[in-house]
Amino acid sequence: MKEKLLKKFAELFENSEGAGFFFSPGRVNLIGEHTDYNGGHVFPCALTIGTYGVARKRADRKVHFYSMNLDHFGVVEASLDNLVNQESYGWANYPLGVVWAFAEKGHSLDVGFDMIIWGNIPNGSGLSSSASLEVLTGVILRDLYGIQDVSMTDIALYGQYSENNFNGCNCGIMDQFAVAMGKKDHAIFLDTSTLKYEYAPVKLKDAKIVITNSKVKHSLVDSAYNDRRRECTDALAALKTVADIETLGDLTVEEFEKHKHVLTDPVLEKRAKHAVAENQRTIEAVAALKRDDITRFGELMNQSHVSLRDDYEVSCKEVDILTELAWKTPGVIGSRITGGGFGGCTVSIVKNDAVESFIEAIGAAYKEQVGHEAEFYTVDIGDGARKID
Ligand code: GLA
């Protein structure tokens, strides 16, 4: 990949002398969905698929972005003197937003840069292609400009800040954190209220992680996501009148049951119920994994899906078909929707010797019921974003 990117870079920007080569992964969340903006726990891991980038400083104040996945965009040009989101920039609003976030946080750039990328994360699939690109940009900026006092956690936070304030999606910290802090063969047990985290080895013995892409993306993704956030904020405000809490993640299921009468709107009650229960499930799932109880881990994944489907209402017909099919398939330990929802992917844990039949059987049944093919990826857990020499 490096050769291909360097060649294109040289073609576009005269030569590739002194240009650096970088990689930033995608992520899959094993459990702990829609808990990250509720002060709860998440359990994602970085993948070995992701976004590659080549970049070099310029002498003037221009910034140039080029994507080898979206050649038709050509080179997008912006200026450090006018860091604003513009529709015509398309995908380049993501890296530009990170430049803006660095400036907002006190790291203004003196000169611009040229950057080209290529990635193999399917877009809009819930595997965090945007967080991957944001964190890639952060790692590039830190390296090119020698910004010493920015940690990988800061890069994740700047990525989230740019997505919230430059690109208009009110996402939590999970995706950027997983992409920045990933570790090979480990998932990250992150407490989003403190950003304290722990790496847990993902030892699935005789099983694998299989991601199934429904290949649907319902258009309401960003607006419905922001609606869910608002509903949780409203539920929290009501619960605070009877419980001494900072976030929904502070409540146990029992405490929630005791106090839920203050939620007079049944929709708010369902949303908060999910946020509370999902956080508890995540804590329990990590404990189960640590004691090698993969069966329990799988059961909790299945429960997570039901809760996201019925209480949080972020699934959709196609993804429900995938999980129902998976639950009925021999050798499947657990299966659930992963990521923001309204389409995208499921994550399943499947016994090694059943992976082939899983792909075949679910592939055929899905095509028959939905009318188009699903895509399957058996994935490996990789390291976080970095410069590659
Ligand atoms: C998206 C957001 C994350 C998180 C998930 C749901 O991926 O970017 O912050 O909220 O949805 O768990």
pLDDT in tens, 68-113: 999 999 999 999 999 999 999 999 999 999 999 999 999 999 999 9
Q: Is the CB of 39 under 6 A from ligand 1?
A: no
Banded model confidence at residue 126, pLDDT cuts 50, 70, 90: confident
Beginning with the edge strand found earlier in the chain, give each strand of the sheet holding 343-351 in spatial order. 332-338, 343-351, 207-217, 375-378
Instruction: Please say whether the beta carbons of 27 and 44 come within 8 A.
Output: yes
Mean pLDDT of 295-324: 98
- Separation between Cα atoms, residue 61 and residue 340, nearest integer Å: 36
205 pLDDT higher than 90: no
pLDDT per residue over 145-179, tens digit each?
Answer: 999 899 999 999 999 999 999 998 889 999 999 99
Chain centroid offset of residue 162 CA: 15
Q: Is the CB of 134 under 6 A from ligand 1?
A: no
Q: Which residue has the higher pLDDT, 222 or 220?
A: 222
Nearest-CA residue for atom 9 of ligand 1: 172
Active site residues: 175
Q: Which residue from 171, 314, 346 has its CB within 8 A of the most atoms of ligand 1, so it is best to mutate?
A: 171
C-alpha distances (whole Å) from 358 to each of 147, 148, 199, 206, 387 are 47, 47, 29, 15, 36
Q: Is the dihedral of CA 280, 358, 207, 176 positive or negative?
A: negative
| Residue 225, both tokens | 């996501």
Mean pLDDT of 372-380: 95
- Separation between Cα atoms, residue 248 and residue 359, nearest integer Å: 38
Q: What's the whole-number average pLDDT of the chain?
A: 96
Centroid of ligand 1 to alpha carbon of 110 (angstroms): 33
Closest ligand 1 atom number to CA of residue 32: 12
3-state secondary structure of 203: coil
How much is the pLDDT for 221? 60
- Separation between Cα atoms, residue 40 and residue 354, nearest integer Å: 33
Q: Is the CB of 344 under 6 A from ligand 1?
A: no
- Separation between Cα atoms, residue 322 and residue 375, nearest integer Å: 11
Q: Is the CB of 34 under 6 A from ligand 1?
A: yes
- Separation between Cα atoms, residue 141 and residue 20, nearest integer Å: 11
Q: Which residue has the tokens 């576009």?
A: 12
Instruction: Please say whether the beta carbons of 315 and 169 come within 8 A.
Output: no
Closest ligand 1 atom number to CA of residue 131: 8
Amino acid at site 89: Y
Give the rounded percent of residues in the chain with a pLDDT score beyond 90: 94
Burial profile 181-207: b = 16 or more Cβ within 10 angstroms, e = fewer: bbbeebbbbbbbbeeebeebebebeeb
Centroid of ligand 1 to alpha carbon of 117 (angstroms): 23
Amino acid at site 48: T
